[in-house]
Amino acid sequence: MSVIELHGLTKTFRTYRKDKGVLAAVKGLFHREYTETKAVDAVSFRIEEGEFVGFLGPNGAGKTTTLKMLSGLLHPSGGEARVLGFVPWERRDGMKRQISLLMGQKNALWWDLPARESLELNRAIYEIPREDFQRSVDELTALLDVRDQLSVMVRELSLGQRMKMELIAALLHRPKVLFLDEPTIGLDVVSQKTVRDFLKHHNAEQRTTIILTSHYMQDIEELCPRVVLIDHGKVMFDGELDRITSEFSANKIVEVKFSSAVSCAFSHLGHVLEQKPDELRIEVPRGQVAAVCRAVLDQAPVADLTVSEPPIEEMMRKVFGDRKS
Ligand SMILES: Nc1ncnc2c1ncn2[C@@H]1O[C@H](COP(=O)(O)OP(=O)(O)OP(=O)(O)O)[C@@H](O)[C@H]1O
């Protein structure tokens, strides 16, 4: 049995449509019109123990709604899901103790308490034995470099420090499944890296099954061998991150360094991205890479030549159009 399984999971939100003006407001008292949004539309996938899966899509694609259903915060409108064998929205105690949802845009810690006491409250909620709690706090604060901030009020922590404390709170009860919704949002690059390194280490050591959403492609590239792409509530791709480029891009990039200045034109070979006297970057159809390399070698004094896939950010723009992925 997979750790996470979804079959046709669907969520439709029904919202009251309010028109402008007093007349419309009075009319609304007698006759209400509703708009339906299919936030998650028959989503199916399986995730095995220890997998680290990136869940990507533009704003409003349905990522958070899916994670909320998987962690039992929302009831679906249709379909099925199981997490560790439990139906999440039945909210059985056995499941709640084995999963964690961290939402980067929301606070789970008590704002007016020092971080240590806020963690202490989580210890009580999850009935974590004191010794285990102390060991986890020592280990996690050291790894995330926030030991000195334990006595600081949560409201006074920087965003990066607070997010690290949130992560510690989410991990105190040693969940087997972790849903991370934008855990690095707004963090400076150093904190982003600390959190990323920590998550990589945690996943490898504990074999925790993790679903991660992030708008930072570096998070995904470093952490997630597998990605699920979702748009308008539907899964558009599910597979290895490396496969996205071959599936969605018909082109490769050829980069050439010349041993002396070159002035001839290369536009007949492909789409020239950049040309300097001693450098060339050209995008060419996959099937023509070998022929283009031969032509460049024939035409100019080449010192170095590399062929690469287009950057993953570019792929995302191609997959999702210009909306923010
Ligand atoms: N409580 C709600 N009531 C009505 N509509 C909702 C509700 N929550 C989400 N939606 C709608 O469902 C759709 C999916 O939203 P969701 O938050 O799941 O997207 P997302 O992929 O997480 O986006 P983002 O990257 O911006 O966080 C959106 O159109 C959103 O407006």
Name the amino acid, one letter, at 47. I
Which ligand 1 atom is at minimum distance from the Cα of 58?
Answer: 25
User: How far is the centre of ligand 1, averaged over its atoms, from the C-alpha of 180 (Å)?
Assistant: 16
- Mutating to test ligand 1, I would choose from 35, 37, 219 the residue with most ligand atoms within 8 A of its C-beta, which is 37
CA-40 nearest atom, ligand 1: 14
Q: Which pTM was predicted?
A: 0.83
Structure confidence by residue, pLDDT tens digits, 142-196? 999 999 999 999 999 999 999 999 999 999 999 999 999 999 988 888 889 999 9
Distances (CA, A) of 106 to 113, 159, 183: 17, 12, 10
Q: Which amino acid is at 158?
A: S
* Alpha carbon nearest to ligand 1 atom 27, residue: 59
The domain limits of the chain are: 4-245, 250-308
Q: What is the pLDDT of residue 322?
A: 58
Q: Is the pLDDT of residue 13 over 70?
A: yes
Residue nearest to atom 19 of ligand 1 (CA): 60
**Ligand 1: residue whose CA is nearest its atom 3:** 13
Tell me the ipTM for this assembly: 0.97
The fold for domain 4-245 equals Rossmann fold (3.40.50)
**CATH topology for 250-308?**
Alpha-Beta Plaits (3.30.70)
Percentage above 70 pLDDT, the chain: 99
Return the exposure string of 72-98: e unless at least 16 CB atoms fall within 10 Å of the residue's CB, then b: bebebbebebbbbebebeeeeeebbeb
| 289 Cα to the center of ligand 1, angstroms | 42
Q: Is the CB–ligand 1 distance for residue 69 below 6 Å?
A: no
Q: Is 98 in the pocket of ligand 1 (CB under 6 A)?
A: no
